[in-house]
Structure 1
Amino acid sequence: MTARTWFITGASRGLGRAFTEAALAAGDRVAAAARDPEPLADLAAEHPDGLVRITLDVSDRAAVFRAVGEAKAALGRLDVVVNNAGGMLYGMVEEATEQQIRDHLDVNFFGAVWVSQAVVPHLREQGSGRILQVTSMGTGGGMASVGFYGAGKAALDSVAEALAMEVARFGVKVTVVQMGGYDTGLFTRGTTATEPDPAYASLRAELEEMWGDDAGPDPSTAAPVIMRLADLPDPPRRLIVGSRSYDIVQQMDRERTGLYREWEDLSRLAPG
Structure 2
Amino acid sequence: MKSKIILITGASRGLGKIWAEAFLKRGDKVIATARDIDSLKDLVATYGEAILPVKLDVNDREQCFAAVKQADEYFGGIDVLINNAGYGLFGAIEETTEQEARDQMETNVFGLLWMTQAIIPVMREQGFGHIIQISSVLGVAATPILGIYNASKWALEGLSESLAAEVKGFGIAVSIVEPNAFGTDWNAASAVRTKSIALYDGIKEALNSYFTPGMIGNPEATAPAILKLVDSEKPPLRLLLGKLALPRVQQVYADRLAVWDSWKEVSAAAHGH
Q: Flag structure 1 segments of 5+ consecutive residues without an equivalent.
A: none
In 2, Cα distance between the equivalents of 1:244 and 1:109? 25
- Tell me how large the CA RMSD over aligned residues is: 1.3
Any idea what SS the aligned residue of 1:222 has? Answer: helix
Any idea what SS the aligned residue of 1:82 has? Answer: strand
Say yes or no: does 1:70 pair with 2:70. yes
Q: CA deviation at 1:136?
A: 0.8
Q: Which runs of structure 2 are paired with 1:35-184 in the superposition (5 Å)?
A: 35-184=35-184
Count residues with an aligned counterpart.
272
In 2, Cα distance between the equivalents of 1:220 and 1:201? 32
Scaled by the length of structure 1, the TM-score of the pair is 0.96
Q: CA deviation at 1:267?
A: 2.0
1:197 maps to 197
In 1, Cα distance between the equivalents of 2:249 and 2:20? 27
2:29 maps to 29
Conservation of the 8 A alpha-carbon contact between 2:180 and 2:217:
no
In 2, Cα distance between the equivalents of 1:178 and 1:184? 15
Any idea what SS the aligned residue of 2:145 has? Answer: coil
Residue range with higher mean Cα deviation, 245-254 or 113-122: 245-254
Q: Which digits, 9 at most, give the CA deviation of each residue in 1:194-227, with x for residues without a partner?
A: 1101121222222222234567222121111111
In 2, Cα distance between the equivalents of 1:225 and 1:209? 29
In 2, Cα distance between the equivalents of 1:246 and 1:14? 22
Residue range with higher mean Cα deviation, 195-204 or 126-135: 195-204
Q: Which runs of structure 2 are paired with 1:217-236 in the superposition (5 Å)?
A: 217-236=217-236
Q: Which runs of 4+ in 1 moved over 6 A?
A: none
2:266 maps to 266
2:216 maps to 216
Q: CA deviation at 1:262?
A: 2.3
Conservation of the 8 A alpha-carbon contact between 1:138 and 1:249:
no
In 2, Cα distance between the equivalents of 1:131 and 1:123? 9
Aligned-residue sequence identity (percent) comes to 38
Q: CA deviation at 1:80?
A: 0.7
Q: Which digits, 9 at most, give the CA deviation of each residue in 1:43-83, with x for residues without a partner?
A: 11110021111111101111111111111111111001000
Output the amino acid matched with 1:270: A
In 2, Cα distance between the equivalents of 1:3 and 1:180? 29
Conservation of the 8 A alpha-carbon contact between 1:183 and 1:215:
no
Scaled by the length of structure 2, the TM-score of the pair is 0.96
Q: CA deviation at 1:24?
A: 0.5
Say yes or no: does 1:17 pair with 2:17. yes
Q: CA deviation at 1:97?
A: 0.5
In 1, Cα distance between the equivalents of 2:97 and 2:213? 28
Q: CA deviation at 1:3?
A: 1.4
Q: Flag structure 2 segments of 5+ consecutive residues without an equivalent.
A: none
Q: Which digits, 9 at most, give the CA deviation of each residue in 1:113-136, with x for residues without a partner?
A: 000000000000000010001101
In 2, Cα distance between the equivalents of 1:220 and 1:173? 25
Q: Which digits, 9 at most, give the CA deviation of each residue in 1:133-154, with x for residues without a partner?
A: 1101121243111011111011
In 2, Cα distance between the equivalents of 1:157 and 1:196? 29
Q: Which digits, 9 at most, give the CA deviation of each residue in 1:68-116, with x for residues without a partner?
A: 1111111111001000011011000011100000111111111000000
In 2, Cα distance between the equivalents of 1:153 and 1:19? 20
In 2, Cα distance between the equivalents of 1:218 and 1:12? 18
Residue range with higher mean Cα deviation, 16-25 or 140-149: 140-149
